[in-house]
Structure 1
Amino acid sequence: MKISTKGRYGLMLMVDLAVHDDGQPVSLKSVAERQGLSEHYLEQLISPLRNAGFVRSVRGAYGGYQLTKAASDISVLDLFSLLEGPLQFAEKDIEDGLGQLWTRMEQALQSVLGSLSLADLVSFRQSDEHGYMFYI
């Protein structure tokens, strides 16, 4: 299984909105500049996120997008499921004798992604930016 640019960029967009969630809407242009992404592509990604209720749009000269929920209430699994569709390692009808393996791998992936919130990703990002070094 490979996560597409739709999933990766959608997640980058949502993390950026969470990082810059100060009560003011965030423009897609500013996200595109910070993340080095195409503004046009972000416009395509924001629509399903808005329709699913993860973000809301604010019109006007200082408009943009805001999260509709706290970052801690948005799971990575929910975002990937929306943007990527079902997370599967193999087609369910494959008769290769490995069905239990694929099922267990999917369950493990869903468990990990379901346990991570957008707030967790913001926290990971901030620790990376501060250059924390851990030595054992």
Structure 2
Amino acid sequence: MKLSTKGRYGLMAMYNLKENEGKGPIALKDIAKEENLSESYLEQLFSLLKKAGLVKSIRGAGGGYVLSRAPKDIAIGEIINALEGDISLSCCDLGKNINCGKLKDCATRDILSKLQGQIEDVMESMTLADM
């Protein structure tokens, strides 16, 4: 399993906001320059982050983005899910797909279910403050 650039760059950008917390809104161009990322790509990511309620935008001169909550209240899983969608180890959603003909005899279902639970637990237990 590998995170796409959405997830990786989004985490980097959110870390940047965390590090600059209390200094006022941070412009995307400043984040892009500091993290060596594309500003236009960040615009797409921040649209998703804003829709998920993780950041707020401030308009006008000196505007930019700020975290919507304290870093300790933003789980890494929230960021990843906002950018990547739900992370799933199996194309069958670990048995949630009722059309799967191998549901009862699936050799991988138990281990994938266990791994899925562990990944979700870690992503929800770690916060932006932990980075």
Q: Normalising to structure 1: TM-score of the pair?
A: 0.85
Report the residue type matching 2:112 in the other structure: W
1:14-48 deviation line (CA, Å, top 9, x unaligned): 11001011240000011001101000100010001
In the alignment, is residue 62 of structure 1 matched against residue 72 of structure 2?
no
Q: In the alignment, what sits opposite 2:124? A: 114
Range 94-103 or range 44-53, more displaced: 94-103
1:94-121 deviation line (CA, Å, top 9, x unaligned): 6441011111111001111111000001
Q: In the alignment, what sits opposite 1:42? A: 42
Distance 2:123 2:13 in 1: 17
Q: In the alignment, what sits opposite 2:21? A: 21
Distance 1:35 1:5 in 2: 13
In the alignment, is residue 99 of structure 1 matched against residue 105 of structure 2?
no
1:70 is displaced (CA, Å) by 0.1
Same amino acid, percent of matched pairs:
40
Distance 2:42 2:78 in 1: 18
Range 105-114 or range 83-92, more displaced: 83-92
Distance 2:23 2:53 in 1: 17
For structure 2, the residue ranges without an aligned partner over 5 or more in a row are none
RMSD: 1.2
Range 36-45 or range 92-101, more displaced: 92-101
Q: In the alignment, what sits opposite 1:124? A: none
For structure 1, the residue ranges without an aligned partner over 5 or more in a row are 122-136
Distance 2:64 2:113 in 1: 40
Q: How many residues align?
A: 121
- Which runs of 4 or more aligned residues in structure 1 lie more than 3 Å from their structure 2 counterparts after TM superposition? 93-96
Distance 1:44 1:19 in 2: 21
